[in-house]
Amino acid sequence: MWLCMVMLGLLAGMPDPCRAAEALSSQLWILELKKNRDVTYRPSLLNMPDLPSWLHYSYSPANHAGFVYGVPPDGISEFQLEVVERDKGTYNTSHRVYNVDVLEQPRKPYEVRFKVTNMNVEEMLVGRGWEKLMSVMTEDLWEESAADLNVTYLASATQKGDRLPARPDEREGVYIGYGSSARFSSSLYRLEQEVKPLWIHHPCPPYFKKTSYERFFRKKNFAVDWCSFKLYDNSDDLIYGGHDDSRDHEEGHRSPVISALENEGRVYLRSREQITKRSYTLDVVHTILIPLVVMLVLLALLTLAMCCHRNNIIPATQDIQMVQYASIHRATEALRALKGREHSPHPSTATTTTQADTLPRSCTASPSSTLPRNSTLSRRFEDYATLTRPDPPPYQRNGATPTR
């Protein structure tokens, strides 16, 4: 019993028989997985962890369908695709391997690319919207391409580097390209010239003059971002959109941001091999060596000036200091002279003697006196003031003048 269960488990884990499929190079290849609500799909290359850069997987929750799509690049003859299915209800898994043979097909010399803003890539695949959009090209704009027009590029806007919409109910957008061997029609040329001034805007302004051919797309319920509408002439590598797209046709191998920039005509990024090599010696000399030499010369001149003129600078400083000292010295002497004159007697009374000076003095000094013997009391201001007064009149007794 256990042996049977183990064998059943091994058989369940083994991949199903390989299914053969065919694809054309430089043309859109789509693998639609069966619709089942409870089954999830995980596609990858056989014995590889993920899909190659040119192959993408998209799942539509509304229709419960999965799609593996992409444009096989040149140089690939076959590839093996492994799809792991897991039932979310029973947790059973199964494997399917698809052997895809890639048939060589020459690249279309004329290609037109633009962005549809009101659809997601899932909606474009589920309802085969790319066929409805192709009818607009073959019936209204490019009638000459009805014989061999096919899809040469299909990718979500987020894969091209665009931002997610601000509102969840808005569509991400789809970039799509159509190629044919027929030359571009005059309608396509007029339309490109009409939208060419809008290429400088990114993102495209939502409100501007509608194009003259927009009614054909609106009739099929398609809103086109005219800032991304460009024509590519791959026959002689001449692009009317403004850059050479022949080198980056396999955009799956390139970074999404770089591919978005190049395909929108805003910038042309060359490969490393195309950039010419040059020497940076002159740049280093102009940027570093010349300023360094100038700085060293100025530093040497400044050092020479400071060292050689030191003897001439110091005496001048000393002279200034001596002049300042002399002025301070004269001011000090003047203050000292004024202070000495304060204690000297009045010049007009220097030779005048008073009665107090002629009084007899005692031979011995007073025991309580602390003044030195030969010292004289300094005169007050009042003493000098009374020296110049006239003598008072003589006293009179009973109206008679006393006699001397």
The verdict on 148 and 41 lying in the same domain is: no
User: Which of 270, 289, 316 lies at the terminal end of a domain, its last residue?
Assistant: 270
The whole domain housing 118 covers 110-270
The verdict on 85 and 157 lying in the same domain is: no
With a cut of 70, say whether residue 355 has pLDDT above it.
no
Asked whether residue 69 is domain-assigned, the answer is yes
Q: How confident is the model at residue 231 (pLDDT cuts 50, 70, 90)?
A: very high
In this prediction, residue 159 carries a pLDDT of 86
User: Which of 52, 72, 103 lies at the terminal end of a domain, its last residue?
Assistant: 103
The verdict on 157 and 175 lying in the same domain is: yes
The verdict on 129 and 206 lying in the same domain is: yes
Asked whether residue 397 is domain-assigned, the answer is no
The verdict on 209 and 266 lying in the same domain is: yes
Give residue-wise pLDDT tens across range 32-83: 887 777 888 899 999 888 899 899 999 888 888 889 999 998 888 899 999 9
The verdict on 177 and 65 lying in the same domain is: no
Helix then strand then coil, % of the chain, to nearest 5: 35, 20, 45
Q: Which residues of 49-61 are buried (b: 16+ CB within 10 A; e: fewer)?
A: eebbbbbbbbebe
Rounded to whole angstroms, how far apart are CA atoms 184 and 241? 13
The verdict on 192 and 93 lying in the same domain is: no
Tell me the sheet residues that pair with 154.
176
The verdict on 140 and 166 lying in the same domain is: yes
With a cut of 50, say whether residue 331 has pLDDT above it.
yes
Q: How confident is the model at residue 111 (pLDDT cuts 50, 70, 90)?
A: very high
The verdict on 183 and 39 lying in the same domain is: no
CA 63-68-69 angle, 5° bins: 115
Answer yes or no: are the C-beta atoms of 175 and 228 closer than 8 Å.
Answer: yes
Asked whether residue 229 is domain-assigned, the answer is yes
Asked whether residue 79 is domain-assigned, the answer is yes
Rounded to whole angstroms, how far apart are CA atoms 230 and 249? 14
Q: How confident is the model at residue 183 (pLDDT cuts 50, 70, 90)?
A: very high
Position with higher pLDDT, 12 vs 404? 404
Answer yes or no: are the C-beta atoms of 159 and 58 closer than 8 Å.
Answer: no
Omega before 345 within 30 of 0, i.e. cis: no
The verdict on 84 and 196 lying in the same domain is: no
Tell me the sheet residues that pair with 39.
87
The verdict on 51 and 172 lying in the same domain is: no
Q: Which helix (H) or strand (E) holds 230?
A: strand 224-233
The verdict on 236 and 160 lying in the same domain is: yes
Average the pLDDT over 336-360 and give the result: 55
